[in-house]
């Protein structure tokens, strides 16, 4: 989670669940340091501390101990401070977990754009997983088919063609090629047409 999502009551509920979190700390975070661990500064680490929150409101919302990891990205020279309830992994792993969050966001964006799951037919975790894995499997099968048959067009276009012709009893390569023949060739013209003639 990013800095904008800091809600210590919610984070404490996550901690009691039990589950783990890694978030970026705000610049004005008030805390008391309980102890510090040695860090390898060549990895970009600057501090690994156990802390408790100092402000009354935040202390009431999260009364337990937190881990504070300060890290400088060696590529961008940007400083990050993370708060987590994970005490068993190295401090560098905490920084790496936060770095990987963007990959998770990209994965979900890819799912929304490519798998075209409009609604989930079940609400249980197993039903949702089955639907997602089925959609991923279909996407991969179409990608393999496109490569092996050397089909023209994008994967999205091929999926649309197959969706419309799902019950056709013709070879897939023929269906895709026939669909591409129906598309009119664009006319190369430098001037805009105001009226259709």
pLDDT band at residue 79 under the 50/70/90 scheme: very high
Q: Which two tokens stand for residue 56?
A: 């009354």
Spatial distance between the Cα atoms of 25 and 3, rounded to a whole number of angstroms = 6
pLDDT of residue 6: 83
* Per-residue model confidence as pLDDT tens digits over 82-133: 999 999 999 999 999 988 888 878 887 887 887 778 888 888 999 989 998 9
pLDDT of residue 186: 61
For the chain, give the number of residues. 197
**Torsion, Cα of 145, 149, 150, 154 (10° steps):** -30
* Per-residue model confidence as pLDDT tens digits over 21-67: 999 998 889 999 999 999 999 999 999 999 999 989 999 999 999 99
* 176 burial type by CB count under 10 A (0-12 exposed, 13-18 middle, 19+ buried): buried
Considering the chain, what is the average pLDDT of its residues?
Answer: 87
N-to-C CA span, the chain: 56
45 phi-psi bin (left φ>0, alpha ψ -120 to 50, beta other)? beta
List CB contacts of 71: < 8 A, sequence separation 6 or more. 44, 45, 46, 79, 80, 81, 82, 91, 92, 94, 95
**Torsion, Cα of 178, 183, 188, 189 (10° steps):** 160
* Per-residue model confidence as pLDDT tens digits over 136-172: 898 899 899 999 988 888 888 888 888 888 888 888 8
Q: What is the side-by-side strand order in the sheet with 31-37?
A: 22-24, 79-84, 66-72, 45-53, 31-37
Q: Which two tokens stand for residue 103?
A: 């990959």
Is the alpha carbon torsion for 6, 9, 10, 13 positive or negative?
positive
Spatial distance between the Cα atoms of 178 and 173, rounded to a whole number of angstroms = 9
126 HSE (CA, 13 A, CB side): 0
């Amino acid at each position: 989670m990013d800095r904008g999502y800091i809600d210590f009551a919610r984070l404490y509920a996550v901690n009691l669940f039990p589950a783990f979190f890694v978030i970026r700390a705000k610049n004005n975070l008030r805390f008391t340091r309980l102890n510090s661990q040695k860090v390898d500064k060549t990895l970009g680490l600057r501090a690994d501390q156990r802390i408790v929150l100092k402000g009354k409101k935040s202390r009431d919302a999260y009364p337990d101990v937190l881990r504070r990891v300060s890290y400088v990205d060696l590529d961008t020279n940007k400083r990050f401070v993370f708060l987590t309830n994970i005490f068993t992994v190295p401090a560098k792993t905490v920084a790496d977990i936060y770095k990987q969050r963007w990959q998770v966001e990209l994965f979900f964006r890819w799912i929304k754009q490519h798998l075209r799951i409009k609604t989930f037919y079940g609400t249980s975790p197993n039903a949702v997983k089955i639907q997602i894995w089925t959609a991923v499997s279909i996407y991969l099968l179409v990608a393999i088919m496109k490569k092996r048959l050397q089909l023209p067009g994008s994967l999205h276009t091929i999926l649309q063609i197959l969706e419309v012709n799902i019950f056709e009893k013709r070879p897939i390569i023929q269906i895709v090629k026939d669909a591409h023949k129906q598309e009119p060739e664009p006319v190369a013209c430098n001037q805009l047409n105001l009226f259709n003639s």
